Amino acid sequence: MYDLIVIGAGPGGYVCAIRAAQLGLKVACVEGRETLGGTCLNVGCIPSKALLHASHMAHEMHENFAKMGLMNAHADIDWDRMQAYKAETVGTNTKGIEFLFKKNKIDWLKGWASIPAAGKVQVGDQVHETKNIVIASGSAATSLKGVEVDNDAGIVVDSTGVLALKKIPQTMVVIGAGVIGLELGSVYSRLGTKVTVVEYLDAITPGMDGEVQKQFQRILSKQGLKFILGAAVSGVESAENGATVTYTPKKGGDAQTLDAEVVLVATGRRPYHDGLGLDALGVKLTDRGQIAIDNHFATSVPGVYAIGDAVPGPMLAHKAEDEGMAVAEILAGKHGHVNYDAIPGVIYTTPEVAAVGLTEEGAKATGRKVKIGKFPLMGNARAKAMLQAEGFVKLIADADTDRILGCHIIGPGAGEMIHEVCVAMEFGAAAQDLALTCHAHPTVSEAVREAALACGDGAIHV
């Protein structure tokens, strides 16, 4: 009899299993993939970051080396080697989780789970008894109606297939200007592919701060990505050497077509809990197909909990991790908690885009008076030395209390810099607190402090 069986070994599930074991529970984790780590480590966050890093280096070489006096730099792209580097990056990470499971005495039940009843998890022919179950089964890519994704054929692909194309295509159409479309679209753009992004909405990166959306689109356009906004893709016709995408402008007009060697469908993900038997078990879902949970991650069935992409909230690995730790602590009799107001979001392009808390639009919509402190990286010495001064830091604070409500950064290392604001928000800090915190010079992080100063008596370097 286990204390806990976790279903799924992605960032939500494996972190939950480790924390529960550290807190003295007897834990097993079911995973049907050949390796641990879920979508994120195997076909998501980690392999994409390997390709993003490699293509970022290529971008630096083309764009900036000569400006810095590094002349005649040239790299032939060995796609097979780049794919091998990606696989090695994934391998060291997935093996790392295996090691952590052994270290924490967590049993890996290999196979796909179903839940015949509360307290029972079936894997293959075997039924395992457990006091509690945490479902961390993640999400799956969705496609558009009538559009067939075939990752093996490598022509119409999703976020998994696009990581393992047989060669770098000459042309690519990306459907959807969300995080996946822009990260992977910019990888190929930097490797020489002509990329066109078709997006239904009138702006890229839905949900992001409006100013960030505009500036980010400008930067990506300058890098060579083409955007067709306000366009609904209605079909993709696949042939032997490419595909034709049909879209209709939202403002009216005839349907248009675009041909490309590869089409990436990046129109969102759906919660994945297929085959678990949730219907028969009586686990309630939301109207969006997510597993419904209460504030303690409990589903409608006692003893069955759920976390991560399968439940409501942003589909982010780190949100799943936090929920995994919190539910483990609750099951161990402690007080697990997630602060959903301070979860960062990062787009790992060049430059990176990072955000935490409310957007300017969102903050104003709450009815409070807000003040905005904005600092352009053109005023930051370090960013200028790096030839990456196109972005800015925008801090949003409550005008009455000075409390930080949100922060939005475009710039080199934005995904690292955002965390000082996360910590500040976690401690309920005011903009003045950040403004009074000494920041090392010269760092790009100084721009965060300058944005905080701009919420008060003014930034220094503008």
318 is in an annotated binding site: yes
Of the candidate residues 113, 187, 198, 236, the single one contacting ligand NAI (CB under 6 A): 198
Binding mask 163-182 for ligand NAI (x = CB under 6 A): ------------xxxxxxx-
Judged by CB, which is closer to ligand NAI: 183, or 209?
A: 183
The secondary structure of residue 66, as a DSSP letter, is G
Q: Is 427 exposed, middle or buried (0-12, 13-18, 19+ CB in 10 A)?
A: exposed
Judged by CB, which is closer to ligand NAI: 114, or 349?
A: 349
Q: Distance between CA 270 and CA 103 in Å, rounded?
A: 33
Judged by CB, which is closer to ligand NAI: 30, or 147?
A: 147
Of the candidate residues 58, 118, 144, 153, the single one contacting ligand NAI (CB under 6 A): 144
CA 216 to chain centre: 17
316 is in an annotated binding site: yes
Judged by CB, which is closer to ligand NAI: 315, or 330?
A: 315
Q: Cis omega (within 30 of 0) on the bond before 442?
A: yes
Q: Is 258 in the site for ligand NAI (CB under 6 A)?
A: no
313 is in an annotated binding site: no
Judged by CB, which is closer to ligand NAI: 225, or 434?
A: 225
CA 114 to chain centre: 27
CB 317, min distance to ligand NAI, A:
7
Q: Is 229 in the site for ligand NAI (CB under 6 A)?
A: no
177 is in an annotated binding site: yes
91 is in an annotated binding site: no
Per the CB < 8 A criterion, the answer to whether 187 and 48 are in contact is yes
Q: Cis omega (within 30 of 0) on the bond before 116?
A: no
Q: Distance between CA 226 and CA 174 in Å, rounded?
A: 10
Q: For residue 276, which of 419, 133, 387 has the smallest C-alpha distance?
A: 133
Give the largest CA-CA distance in the chain: 68
296 carries an active-site annotation: no
CB 171, min distance to ligand NAI, A:
18
Angle, alpha carbons 356-266-229 (nearest 5°):
80
Of the candidate residues 31, 199, 261, 360, the single one contacting ligand NAI (CB under 6 A): 199
DSSP codes, 152-201: TTTSEE-TTGGGG-SS--SEEEEE--SHHHHHHHHHHHHTT-EEEEE-SS
Q: Distance between CA 70 and CA 64 in Å, rounded?
A: 9
CB 212, min distance to ligand NAI, A:
14
CB 201, min distance to ligand NAI, A:
5
Binding mask 104-143 for ligand NAI (x = CB under 6 A): ----------------------------------------
Helix, strand, coil: what percent of the chain each, to 5? 35, 25, 40
CB 227, min distance to ligand NAI, A:
11
Judged by CB, which is closer to ligand NAI: 49, or 371?
A: 49
Of the candidate residues 106, 121, 310, 347, the single one contacting ligand NAI (CB under 6 A): 347
For residue 28, list its beta bridge partners: 5, 107
Structure tokens at 333: 């009799």
Of the candidate residues 16, 25, 29, 233, the single one contacting ligand NAI (CB under 6 A): 233
Q: Is 228 in the site for ligand NAI (CB under 6 A)?
A: no
* Alpha-carbon distances of 189 from 51, 55, 461, rounded to whole Å: 12, 9, 34
Q: State the catalytic residues.
A: 441
Query: Which residues are documented as binding site?
Result: 49, 176-183, 199, 268, 309, 315-318
Query: Which residues are documented as binding site for FAD?
Result: 49, 309, 315-318
Binding site for ligand NAI (CB under 6 A): 144, 175-181, 183, 198-201, 206, 232-233, 266-269, 315-316, 345-348
